[in-house]
Each structure stands twice: as C-alpha cells, then as structure tokens.
Structure 1
C-alpha cells in the first residue's frame, strides 16, 4: 500500500503543524494511543473528566489538534476525545481503509472499545463526518447523539466546479508553489484566511500523496437502525458538498434528523474566528446537551 505521506521529512512537517495547533489550546490535553485491527490510533483527550463523553473526528489532511482548536469551547463542559483518523493524520497508523464499505466504521468501533466508550456523542467534520456515518451504519447503538458538520458521504458537488475551483489550483500550487497560487487554491475552501490554515493547507498538500478516492454515499437503508438524534450543519458556499443539496438529502437519509442549519456566507472550511468558534461550539453543545 502506498504511504499517505511523501517520506519522513513530509511527516515531520505535518507533525509540527499538529504540535502548533495543540500548543494554541488553553486547556491541557492528554495523548493516548489505542490499538485497532488496522494499527495504532492517536487520540487527544481533554475537558472535565466528569463531563459527557464526546468523540470528535477531523477532516481530511488535518489532525486531532486542528479540530480541537476549532471546537475548543466544547472542552469547557465535555470530555472530548479527538481522534486522529487513519489515512488522514500523520499521528495515526499510515493505512488507508476502503471508502466504499464499512472498514472505517469497524476501525472507529475499535477506537471506542480502546477508549472504553460504550455510547458517546459523536461529532464528525467533513471526512470525519463520513467516518461517523460509517459507524452509524455498522453499529448505530454505539452513538448517543450525532453531529455532522459539512460531512462527506451524503452528497457530492459538481465535478466541474471541484476540478476548476479546487483540484486544478491545488495541482498548480503543488507543482510550483507561490503565495499567489496558494491563495488561488484556498480561495474556494476557506471562508476566512489567517496565519495558520492557509499555510498549513499549502504544506499539507505538498507533504501528502493525495487520496483522490471519493467516499461512497450512504443509503437510507444503511441507516434505518440509527436511533441517535442527528444534527447536520452545511455551508451555503461549499463547493465540495453544496449546503442546500446536503440538507435536502439529509432529510431523507437520517431517520432521526432532529436539527439542521445552512450557515450563510460559509465555504467548506467555516470561519476561523473566535466569535464563530464560540457560536459553533454552543450550537453543537446545546444539541448534545438536549439529550
């Protein structure tokens, strides 16, 4: 199997980014490693030990520290377990499960077992949303409440828009990096730009052997056994998973859809501002606490 990363130097670059985002957290976190059927999985754990357990799964190319940074206010009230997704994070085993069956669901169930979490809340972001849906299809009884943010595996966007707005600018940047090409690449991904996310994405796409597989779309019959109340958030400017289309299919896909929202003026990566982080964590936290 081909490595997800372009050698040890590339891994070191991504590891430094993980530590950079972790270093910006204001709440102490603990690193844990759990064994699964496909290899070791790294998890960052933080928040009050008596708080309700929440498992958080990050998007493609990112890490547990990235997603914890964006959802940091959840650490005030919840015991958060941010999992480094295999095949997408340098912190976990360098393996790539299938995206056309339930291998990711089996892996995540192993992670829950390794963490001794019988029925936590689950929050999945982008690629992590796809992984969460695979767990919901395989072992729905393991999820208390499910929150999906801009999830993969529900709908796909226009192939033409994806090619012209994201894929081609990304390839041009990889071939000949420059600040202008980096901005062209992130323009249709990031809602806001800052000193972290644009440089990180530039480094990440150059450090990784890109996984161009498209996750299979979930089918209603796969989720017929899901009992967990489900929240779905989408962005109205998301090229990858168009918001209105995503929410429309969510209404037919999730039998326990309890809440949904189309976030205005939002691309696939939502605003990276403190104000939005507070709003998003409250939105998710209120939903999780409702149970």
Structure 2
C-alpha cells in the first residue's frame, strides 16, 4: 500500500473540486456516509428511494462514486444505489491502494455489504469496479444475485506495449504543454465522444494522481466458471485496454449464464450523452429485473 494517491495537496484539492462538479452533474438527491471497515473509514454515496431494491455500483479507476452516479442517475428511478469509493482510486476513498495479489478488494467489499446487511445483492461494476465486482462474485457467488459489468478490467488484456506506444508520446506532450490540442490527442484514445467535463477531468487526473504501478490480473477460467449467477457483460469495440470482441468470446466460453452487448465504435469510456445514459439504464433494468 502507498502512503497517498496524490502528488501534492493542490492535486487533492483539484480532485475534490471535480468530485463536487460531478456530484452536481448527477442532479439527484444523495446521501454521503462513512462506513467503518478493517481498512479504515470508507466513503459511500447512496441515491434513490431506500425502499427500492439495492444495486451496488463500483466506479472506474481514479474516478469516484460521483463520477459514476452522474452517468447512471436514471437507475435511481428503479433502485436504491449504493456507491462505495474504491480504496486508492478516488479522492473520497481510503488513500491507500490494495495489492492485486491479495484478496483485500474482496474483503473490503464484503465488509461494505455486511455494513448494509446485504446478504445477497445485485452488483454493477465499471472498468476497475468491474474487476472488483467480478472478483467478489467469484469468491462469494452465493451473495451475488446478478452481476453486470461495463468494460470490465481483468478478463482480457490488450497488448500493454501497444497501448503504451499509442499513448506515451501524446501523454508526454500533454504533461509538458497542457494545451487543449494536446489534451484531445491523449483523451481521444479513451473517450468515445468529446465531453468537456470528462476530458478535462482526465487531463487533470493524469497530473494529479500518482500513477498506479500495477493492473488487475486476468481472471482464471475457474474464477469465471464460479460466476454461477446471471451475468451481463457490456464491452466496447475499440477499447484499447480491454477489447470488446475478445472479452465477449472469453466470457461466453467460461461463464455459465451470460448475456453480452458490444458497443460498436466505442472506446473504453463509452458515450456520456443522455441517449446513452437512458439506453444503459434500460439495458441494466431489463437484465436485473428479469
């Protein structure tokens, strides 16, 4: 574990501002609470009517609960959303990163579910959050009703060398000169369609966060076969990290009950417009409510 996840105090303050900005963008009533775990106090955001079924939602690497909520707010019409901030990957989270060689992510999520007395629950995870959700579901299939994954990490991995070669020069140029033109050259590898908030947030994140030194390991065939609950995997065709078609091939070959969707022409960050938000909410509701 590291001592902190930010390069300096100014970086943390800038990310706090981004958190608040995405919380405003979410445009729905939320509650913020601190949940005690053996790793420290964990920040959890909740949204939606508490009388509705619970959906646990896990955000992507170096984002936050507010970032995810801003893109899935339509789900609050159907579910009570519980959005924990993943340790080491959010300005609101425990400021230490767990080793992927340990079971700490699984233990941490179990303690969050125990706190909310969720014996069995639906879980939705995006990117790194998809890895954490999948790892938990593989270990505790009896506690996972259904599992929904959007561009999940840890199932397939594109060539790291190819990815680094694609982004290295644009990223170096942006770090030297943080111009709009250089920002676009970097984030265009990641986002499907330009979005001012997301693009500038990603640009700041590259400079604010201490870069994670490791990536989630690939799930074994046994771990995927342990997913005995219904699973939905939504992948992106042009994802340079977790390419959509190979990911679909692997989950279909190993997960007993799986539905898939391939987002054509999409990169790792899918569309962030209203049309896609409504489509995603509808697709998740269709899967979870069957």
TM over 0.5: yes
Cα distance between partner residues in 2 of 1:168 and 1:72:
36
1:173 paired residue number: 174
2:97 paired residue number: 96
Cα distance between partner residues in 2 of 1:119 and 1:188:
37
Q: How does 1:260-271 map to 2 (within 5 A)?
A: 260-271=260-271
Q: Where in structure 1 do 4 or more consecutive aligned residues deviate above 4 Å?
A: none
2:143 paired residue number: 142
Cα-to-partner distance string for 1:234-279 (whole Å, 9 max, x where unaligned): 011111101001111111332332x101111100000010001100
2:50 paired residue number: 49
Q: For structure 1, list consecutive stretches of 5 or more residues without a partner in the other structure.
A: none
2:73 paired residue number: 72
Q: How does 1:141-290 map to 2 (within 5 A)?
A: 141-257=142-258, 259-290=259-290
Cα-to-partner distance string for 1:159-206 (whole Å, 9 max, x where unaligned): 233112234422432243221211111011000112200000011111
Cα distance between partner residues in 2 of 1:99 and 1:29:
31
- Is the CA contact (8 Å cut-off) linking 2:5 and 2:96 kept in structure 1? yes
Q: For structure 2, list consecutive stretches of 5 or more residues without a partner in the other structure.
A: none
Query: Which range moved further: 156-165 or 206-215?
Result: 156-165
Cα distance between partner residues in 1 of 2:18 and 2:130:
22
Cα-to-partner distance string for 1:131-171 (whole Å, 9 max, x where unaligned): 11110122222211100000000010122331122344224
Corresponding residue pairs, total: 289
Give RMSD over aligned pairs.
1.4
Cα distance between partner residues in 1 of 2:218 and 2:170:
26
Query: Which range moved further: 244-253 or 146-155?
Result: 244-253
Cα distance between partner residues in 1 of 2:13 and 2:128:
23
Aligned residue for 2:148, secondary structure, equals strand
